[in-house]
Amino acid sequence: MSNSGRPVSPTSLDIAHRAQVSQATVSRALRNSPLVRPETRERIQRIAEELGYRTNRSAAGLRTRRSQTLALLLFEEAPGDVQINPFFLSMLGHITQAAARRGFDLLVSFQQASVDWHTDYEVSKRADGLILLGYGDYTTSAERLRLLAGMGDHFVIWGPVIEELPGHYLGCDNAHGARLATRHLLQLGRRRIAFAGGASDQCPEFKVRYLATLDAMREAGVEPDPGLRVDAESSPASGYAAGRQLIAAGLPFDAIIAASDLIAIGAIRALVEAGLRVPEDVSVVGFDDILTASYYNPPLTTIRQDTRQAGEFLVENLIKLIDGGVVESKLIPPSLVVRDSCGGR
């Protein structure tokens, strides 16, 4: 009790004495920092709860000069485009949950790649670090990302392997996913496999998926037809145009691997309009496993990216960077989800 008779609120120092750790360790544990061993973190959090400790986030921010906020930047595919890829919506939900569990708020912003976005956030102390999603054309972003790393800014990217930015990227093992899709189609007897998606340096993830598709076919003794690749951006409209282009080319094909589920959905519509049956005439495989995939007609066979694990890793790695820890980039293995768009289940 204080001299006024009011109960004295417990402090982080009280928790440190009880747990026999440093005050800095208490602070990290209460933020769910991965730098604290899980058993120590759980013990400190249990003691804090027993003492009725409540974090004063304003005071903590003054002491650490931190905002306890992470900024999630989603990039427009084109100026004025307000459509968000459903894949990123799923990722957004898991990132929000992961940040909240670690005591961080999440500031979400829609950006244009041409804008000097980094100066609005970490540099101005609105956020302690940045998570970058859907940044579009990598070739236009690469130099800025290298500049951020050189300035010591805290950021992580969901996307392609970027060898010159170790620790800053996390992504899907795209090559493994494409091989899973291709091998499944080959097992079904499909040999004329088309690919709908970009294959240039501007879209490195799609390029990796395409090259891995070619490798898997050649490993099975099937020579790919280069005429069976059509460009497509990640939208149903682009997938529909890609499907029509494949049909108009007049080359025989019995399967399509789409670089995303949105492309696959558009391509199926084009096939059906042309009188082709899915999967009897043409099997279709997507990539992402967005929510719509399982409810589409026919339900879409796809490569599932683990957005829950991705969200956890993005937040965990970013907080490690903020805390000065060592971070390793990693690729998360995807899985094949077989539904009716391929047949032969």
Q: Which CATH number characterizes residue 51's domain? A: 1.10.260.40
Task: Say how many CA atoms lie within 13 Å of 1 toward its Cβ.
Answer: 4
Domain contains 79: yes
Domain count, the chain: 3
What is the SS3 assignment for 304? Answer: strand
| Listed residue (2, 103, 112, 6) closest to 54, CA to CA | 103
Residues of the chain with confidence (pLDDT) below 70: 1-8, 34, 54-66, 76-83, 111-125, 135-143, 147, 150-152, 344-345
CA distance 266 to 189: 24
DSSP string, 83-130: ---HHHHHHHHHHHHHHHHTT-EEEEEEE-TTS-GGGGTTTTTS-SEE
What is each CA distance from 116 to 141, 168, 318, in whole angstroms? 11, 19, 21
Contact by Cβ (8 Å): 51, 10: yes
pLDDT (0 to 100) of residue 64 = 47
Instruction: State the sign of the Cα–Cα–Cα–Cα dihedral 201, 206, 210, 213.
Output: positive
pLDDT (0 to 100) of residue 296 = 95
Residue span of the structural domain in which 28 resides: 12-64
CA distance 239 to 160: 22
Domain contains 1: no
Instruction: State the sign of the Cα–Cα–Cα–Cα dihedral 134, 198, 113, 323.
Output: positive
Q: Which CATH number characterizes residue 207's domain? A: 3.40.50.2300
Contact by Cβ (8 Å): 241, 213: no
Residue pLDDT, tens place only, 201-235: 888 899 999 999 999 999 999 999 999 999 999 99
Domain contains 40: yes
Contact by Cβ (8 Å): 67, 125: yes
Domain contains 4: no
Domain contains 128: yes
Domain contains 37: yes
Q: Which helix (H) or strand (E) holds 181?
A: helix 174-187
Q: What is the pTM of this model?
A: 0.78
- Residue 222 and residue 162 in one domain: no
- Residue 212 and residue 161 in one domain: no
- Residue 98 and residue 168 in one domain: yes
